[in-house]
């Protein structure tokens, strides 16, 4: 019998894969954005699972809002990335270090 | 029985494709694997009986966001990432060990928090979400729409470089400044016309 905890476990495995992705692909901005998408997806899976556990709709409504905000976050991130590429001709995050103290 | 089998197929595919997102050597490949991950997680949410959200995930992410991401990846012409050297692979294995520890901690927390209960089915989940969304959370819904509008304006204005000088376009102020004298002129009368 598949219960709530199976969904929660899938959520935390995908979350950890996203965090590892941020650590592994830290030189590539696009891979960083995709790892953030994975993390948000894992959080949304947890929200869905726990809203089923408590038999309330609050978690699902929250997932709806998180989807909207994540979409606009990706759009603005990609716009900033296009600007960085125009300025530096690269998206390697080690190459642009003007803010280094 | 079929439910369990579907759950395991979707979850194994989700985990393996999300690993491929992280460890693929080209951003286009990892974007395509990310699409596959989203489809599989939509299947998982469908198994958890939240049909509206799983279809919204496919519409919003696979339809809109991933298309945008693929366009940007192809436009930027990102080079293939270099071969992992020894130091990097040491870091990767260290990350994997820490990740396994975190998975174990979260697993034990999930076991403590959640008692296995039977999933109850609501009559129409989409209708129930709509009833909640437009009454209790109406203000938050409106604020989300305003945030989407502001984000759209921000993304367009970040990438907009201003009008180019050589582009052919309609200049409305110049058109409105025109009067009769600038458009009409009398042709000189020809002398030997019959």
pLDDT at B177 over 60: yes
Q: How confident is the model at residue B78 (pLDDT cuts 50, 70, 90)?
A: low
Which structural domain range is residue A77 located in?
4-88
Asked whether residue A93 is assigned to any structural domain, the reply reads no
Residue A49 lies in a domain: yes
Residue B8, number of CB atoms within 10 A of its CB: 12
Query: Which residues numbered 43-82 in A keep a CB inside 8 Å of some CB on B?
Result: 44-45, 48-53, 55, 57-58, 60-61, 63-65, 67-76, 78-82
Question: What pLDDT, on the 0 to 100 scale, is given for residue A35?
Answer: 93
Nearest Cα residue to B45 out of A91, A66, A92 = A66
Closest CA to B53 of A9, A83, A47: A47
Overall pTM > 0.95: no
CATH of the domain at A31: 1.10.287.3510
Residue of chain B nearest A86, judged by CA positions: B76
Q: Rounded mean pLDDT of B43-70? A: 89
Which among A9, A57, A82 is the nearest to B110, CB-wise?
Answer: A9
* Helical ranges in A25-54 per DSSP H: 29-53
Within a domain: residue A31? Answer: yes
- Domain annotation covers residue A100: no
Give domain status of residue A54, yes or no.
yes
DSSP state of B58: I
What does the pLDDT average to over B137-150?
A: 93
Q: State ipTM.
A: 0.91
Hey, of B119, B121, B137, B156, which one would you mutate to test binding to chain A, going by the most A CBs within 10 A of its CB?
A: B119
Which residue of chain B is at minimal alpha-carbon distance from A83?
A: B159
Mean pLDDT, consecutive 10-residue stretches, chain A (101 aa), reads: 86 92 85 92 93 87 92 91 85 76 62
Q: How many domains does chain A have?
A: 1
Least confident range from A8-17, B14-23, B160-169: namely B160-169
């Amino acid at each position: 019998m598949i219960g709530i905890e199976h969904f929660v476990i899938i959520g935390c495995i995908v979350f950890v894969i996203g965090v590892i992705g941020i650590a592994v692909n830290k030189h590539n901005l696009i891979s960083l954005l995709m790892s953030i998408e994975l993390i948000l997806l894992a959080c949304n899976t947890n929200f869905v699972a726990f809203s089923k556990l408590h038999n309330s709709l609050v978690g699902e409504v929250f997932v709806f809002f998180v989807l909207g905000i994540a979409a606009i976050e990706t759009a603005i991130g990609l716009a900033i990335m296009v600007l960085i590429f125009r300025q530096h001709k690269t998206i390697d995050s080690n190459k642009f270090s003007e803010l280094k103290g | 029985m079929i439910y369990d089998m579907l759950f395991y197929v979707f979850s194994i595919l989700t985990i393996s494709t999300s690993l491929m997102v992280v460890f693929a050597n080209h951003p286009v490949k990892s974007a395509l694997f990310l699409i596959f991950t989203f489809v599989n997680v939509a299947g998982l949410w469908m198994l958890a009986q939240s049909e509206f959200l799983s279809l919204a995930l496919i519409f919003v992410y696979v339809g809109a966001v991933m298309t945008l991401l693929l366009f940007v990846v192809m436009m930027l012409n990102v080079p293939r990432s270099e071969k992992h050297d020894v130091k990097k692979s040491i870091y990767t294995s260290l990350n994997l060990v820490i990740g396994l520890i975190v998975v174990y901690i979260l697993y034990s927390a999930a076991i403590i928090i959640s008692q296995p209960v039977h999933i109850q089915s609501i009559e129409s989940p989409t209708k129930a979400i709509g009833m909640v969304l437009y009454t209790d959370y109406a203000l938050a819904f409106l604020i989300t729409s305003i945030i989407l509008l502001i984000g759209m304006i921000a993304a367009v204005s970040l990438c907009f470089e201003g009008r180019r000088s050589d582009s052919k376009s309609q200049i409305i102020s110049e058109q409105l400044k025109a009067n009769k004298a600038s458009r009409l002129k009398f042709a000189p009368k020809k002398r030997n016309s019959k």
